[in-house]
């Protein structure tokens, strides 16, 4: 008798072979059916499929099959986000070539995904580390360069003085290099930037249209873009310092101008630098500030420190009122004007600072209860209310007073309405081997010249060594020595590679259309895009999704596409997590290796004690 029991291994295999040979899940570009593009964020080929992948791709798979059953022509592709640091780390640790390591991982993960039987269109598989992908990315980079959306500028990087190499932010742990343990220095390097800030207003406005996105993600992007409207104005110095006669500040709260009690400069402010060149104590303080953190959270929580310059400035609305000028560690040079006026009663950082340096704290906004100028306590009042203790502003609402001060400043010529953005241009240069080579040649006479498109792709050299620290492309004997495409003189190839977020900023276009001779066919792309449903981890809520939205707009602005938003609907899945287990020495144990032993946990094989930890990804 034949075995009547269902044998999934045999049945899956039989059906998967049938699907493959019939091309069941291959999307037809010429189809006349309505279309549905179901996309899950493509994986990094780290080694093996984990449960997070299974969860993510299962959700997409269910939706893709459902849409197909409903009569849609479905595009449901799969590929590999294959450049990045882990491959270089493996090269250094295991002495394997990053390409070999990556391609072996892709092979095993592909076979795992195939075994799972997902309904992917494998005919469109791509890997960002292959020249047929990154060469087209180079072509797009050149288009953006020619469209004036790319520029070069000096910018600080993390430099490991022992390993003599640039470190990514995630390789800096507590201010020290992850391998050498040496204190990391800031170094200035000339790097490439993409003009995402040109699209700030548009990226913000576009969020309002994304009805199929979680509110939470839209809000995170809004905060990241960070539009602030306020007043930019100057305080005159009582005594000019060389050619600096005033201090320009930006404030979103001009209504609180009568509550000002000091002006604070960033450590990098030109006035700080001028003073520091004559004052070693100030110079040392400024250095200390620069070593500190710069994220909003860090600025919020770190101890507020200042240095009294001894200078004073005049209040713009009262010529008899002088305010002290400090250098403070919580003022950033690259936001607003790099200087602020402090209103301790209504800003927490200013209050912490004022209490520490014993500066006046004057109430100018009343919540309706307290109206007197004396402000007690350790918590600034930042809520709505009526203006008090502020001359002609008294009795106005916060909003009315803001408008009043802005109008007055503009009429009297000491300030103007100003919009400031938190978003910065996107620095895409990485001093790394395993990434897309930036297709530029530096010539002493012609400056940076794009590689002519008929010479693309600029392929990564295979013969590299990771024994010496630093960027292997920089050290390679011949790769960077090329002639200038414009004048023919000996020139130098750019040895930086692109941030891997660039690779994932357009892969959804290449899935929709992948001709050999250009990045995509816009007419075919238009049939499929925007992606009907995008699915992935919420950890990509800001950077990846914002960069992809920017890249799509940037291509549209130079006429390569005719739509702005790449993803119509977004679903952010949760993360698969589990309680964690470790040996006494801190090394990881998997859940199968441990058992409960009374109230504690022990290693099954030898009974040794186990430390349990947080629930983690
Ligand atoms: C006076 C004031 C009074 C302020 C008050 C706030 C509350 P957002 O909304 O994030 O744009 N600021 C301006 N430039 C800064 C810099 N380079 N580094 C640190 N802080 C800076 O914040 C704008 C406010 O942040 C500005 O408004 C300024 O402080 C501060 F009751 O001015 B405000
Ligand atoms: Zn030249």
| Per-residue confidence (pLDDT) for residue 587, from 0 to 100 | 86
Q: How much of the chain exceeds pLDDT 90, in percent?
A: 78
pTM reported for the whole predicted model: 0.88
Please tell me the distance between residue 488's alpha carbon and the centre of ligand 2 in angstroms. Answer: 6
**What are the pLDDT digits (tens) for 356-411?**
999 999 999 999 889 999 999 899 999 999 999 999 999 999 999 999 999 999 99
User: Looking at ligand 1, which atom is closest to the CA of residue 254?
Assistant: 1
Average pLDDT over residues 339-345: 98
Q: Judge whether 552 and 194 are in contact, CB under 8 Å.
A: no
DSSP state of 531: B
Pocket, ligand 1, Cβ cutoff 6 A:
228, 250-253, 256, 266, 330-332, 335-336, 338, 340-341, 343, 346-347, 420
Q: Which spans in 365-505 are helix H?
A: 398-412, 472-475, 500-503
Q: What is the mean pLDDT of the chain?
A: 93
**What are the pLDDT digits (tens) for 10-50?**
999 999 999 999 999 999 999 999 999 999 999 999 999 98
State the pairing for strand pair 447-450/440-443: antiparallel
Please tell me the distance between residue 441's alpha carbon and the centre of ligand 2 in angstroms. Answer: 9
Please tell me the distance between residue 91's alpha carbon and the centre of ligand 1 in angstroms. Answer: 46
For residue 297, pLDDT over 80 is answered with no
**What are the pLDDT digits (tens) for 546-573?**
999 999 999 999 999 999 999 999 999 8
Q: Report in angstroms the alpha-carbon separations of 124 from 15, 22, 78, 349, 514.
A: 20, 15, 7, 53, 8
- Ion ligand 2 — residues with CB under 5 Å? 443, 445-446, 484, 486-487
Please tell me the distance between residue 499's alpha carbon and the centre of ligand 2 in angstroms. Answer: 27
353 Cα distance to chain centroid: 30
**What are the pLDDT digits (tens) for 579-610?**
889 998 888 898 889 998 888 899 999 999 99
Average pLDDT over residues 264-290: 94
Q: What span, in angstroms and rounded, lies between the C-alpha atoms of 431 and 495? A: 7
For residue 446, pLDDT over 70 is answered with yes
Q: What span, in angstroms and rounded, lies between the C-alpha atoms of 509 and 196? A: 19
HEC sequence for 231-268: EEEEEEEEEEECCEEEEEEEECCHHHHHHCCEEEECCC
Number of Cα atoms under 13 Å in the Cβ half of residue 391: 10
Q: What span, in angstroms and rounded, lies between the C-alpha atoms of 426 and 542? A: 13
For residue 430, pLDDT over 80 is answered with yes
**What are the pLDDT digits (tens) for 167-182?**
777 678 777 887 788 8
- Bridge-partner residues for 321, per DSSP? none
Please tell me the distance between residue 445's alpha carbon and the centre of ligand 2 in angstroms. Answer: 5
| Per-residue confidence (pLDDT) for residue 85, from 0 to 100 | 86
Burial class (CB in 10 A: 0-12, 13-18, 19+), 3: exposed
Q: How much of the chain exceeds pLDDT 70, in percent?
A: 98
For residue 575, pLDDT over 80 is answered with no
| Per-residue confidence (pLDDT) for residue 613, from 0 to 100 | 87
DSSP state of 438: P
Q: What span, in angstroms and rounded, lies between the C-alpha atoms of 326 and 345? A: 18
For residue 3, pLDDT over 70 is answered with no
Copy the structure tokens of residue 429.
């240069």
Residue 482: nearest ligand to its CA? 2
């Amino acid at each position: 008798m034949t075995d009547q029991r269902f044998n999934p291994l045999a049945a899956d295999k039989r059906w998967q072979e049938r699907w493959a040979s019939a091309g069941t899940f291959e999307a037809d570009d010429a189809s006349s059916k309505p279309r549905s593009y179901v996309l899950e964020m493509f994986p990094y080929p780290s080694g093996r499929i984990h449960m997070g992948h299974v969860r993510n791709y299962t959700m997409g798979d269910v939706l893709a099959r459902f849409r197909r059953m409903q009569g849609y022509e479905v595009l449901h592709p799969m590929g590999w986000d294959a450049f990045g640091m882990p491959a270089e780390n493996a090269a250094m640790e295991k002495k394997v070539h990053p390409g070999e390591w990556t391609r072996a991982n892709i092979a095993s993960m592909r076979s795992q995904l195939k075994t799972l039987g997902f309904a992917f269109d494998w005919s469109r598989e791509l890997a960002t580390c292959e020249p047929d992908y990154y060469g087209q990315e180079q072509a797009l980079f050149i288009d953006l360069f020619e469209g004036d959306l790319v520029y070069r500028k000096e910018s600080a990087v993390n430099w490991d003085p022992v390993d003599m190499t640039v470190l990514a932010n995630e390789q800096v742990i507590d201010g020290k290099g992850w391998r050498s343990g040496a204190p990391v220095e800031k170094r200035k390097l000339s790097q490439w930037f993409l003009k995402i800030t040109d699209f700030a207003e548009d990226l913000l406005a576009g969020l309002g249209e994304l009805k199929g996105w979680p509110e939470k993600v839209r809000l995170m992007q809004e905060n990241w873009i960070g539009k602030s409207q306020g007043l930019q104005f100057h305080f005159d110095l009582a005594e000019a310092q060389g050619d600096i006669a005033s201090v320009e500040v930006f404030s979103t709260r001009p209504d609180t101008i009568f509550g000002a009690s000091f002006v604070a400069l960033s450590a990098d402010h030109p006035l700080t630098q001028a003073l520091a060149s004559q004052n070693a104590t100030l110079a040392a303080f400024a250095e200390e500030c620069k070593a500190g953190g710069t994220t909003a959270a860090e600025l919020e929580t770190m101890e507020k420190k200042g240095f009294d310059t001894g200078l004073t400035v005049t209040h713009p609305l009262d010529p008899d009122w002088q305010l002290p000028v400090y250098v403070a560690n919580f003022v950033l040079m690259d936001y607003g004007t790099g200087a602020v006026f402090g209103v301790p009663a209504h800003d927490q950082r200013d209050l912490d600072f004022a209490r520490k340096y014993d500066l006046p704290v004057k109430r100018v906004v009343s919540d309706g209860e307290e109206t007197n100028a004396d402000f007690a306590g350790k918590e600034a009042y930042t809520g709505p209310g009526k203006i008090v203790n502020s001359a002609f502003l008294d009795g106005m609402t916060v909003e009315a007073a803001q408008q009043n001060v802005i109008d007055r400043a503009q009429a009297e010529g000491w300030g103007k309405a100003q919009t400031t953005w938190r978003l910065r241009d996107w620095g895409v240069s990485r001093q790394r081997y395993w990434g897309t080579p930036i297709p530029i040649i530096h010539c002493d006479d012609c400056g940076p010249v794009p590689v002519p498109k008929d010479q693309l792709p600029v392929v990564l050299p295979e013969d590299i060594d990771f024994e010496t620290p630093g960027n292997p492309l920089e050290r390679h004997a011949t790769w960077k020595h090329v002639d200038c495409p414009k004048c023919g003189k000996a020139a130098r190839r750019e040895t930086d590679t692109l941030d891997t977020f660039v690779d994932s900023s357009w892969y959804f276009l290449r899935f929709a259309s992948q001709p050999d001779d250009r990045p995509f066919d816009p007419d075919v792309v238009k049939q499929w895009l925007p992606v009907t449903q995008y699915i992935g981890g919420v950890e990509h809520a800001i950077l990846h999704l914002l960069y992809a939205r920017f890249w799509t707009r940037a291509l549209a602005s130079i006429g390569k596409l005719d739509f702005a938003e790449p993803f119509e609907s977004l679903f952010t899945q949760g993360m698969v997590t589990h309680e964690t287990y470790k040996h006494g020495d801190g090394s990881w144990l998997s859940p199968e290796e441990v058992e409960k032993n009374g109230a504690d946990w022990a290693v099954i094989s030898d009974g040794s004690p186990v430390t349990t930890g947080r629930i983690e990804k």
